[in-house]
Amino acid sequence: MASTPIPRELSKPQQLLFLTIDELVPFGLGFVIGIASGWFFTCVALGVAGSVFFRRYRDSRPDGFLLHLLYWYGLAPIKGRSVINPFHRRVLPA
């Protein structure tokens, strides 16, 4: 019987080269805007700086902080019976 390798970390985020997908978004956005505007090197440098800033911000907060922040401002599309309206700041017992 052949052995099956078991991964060490099951919840490891997906990576492309050395960046995770959420760190790749600022870089990719800078890349696309740089091509469209003609300021390629400036926008790519801003995208790299944005990725570094985002990585430092994300690593200094607990897991799920950014999703909670999006929910708090009403930007996360969370649906369900147990999810209350994020704009109701005081919840009184029924």
CA dist., res. 22 & res. 67, Å (int): 12
CA dist., res. 57 & res. 65, Å (int): 10
Within 10 angstroms of residue 49's Cβ, the number of other Cβ atoms is 13
Mind listing the pLDDT tens digit for each residue in 34-93? Answer: 999 999 999 999 999 998 998 898 889 888 888 888 888 888 777 777 777 778 778 788
**Is a pLDDT exceeding 80 seen at residue 25?**
yes
Please state at what angle helix 40-59 crosses helix 21-37, rounded to 10 degrees: 160
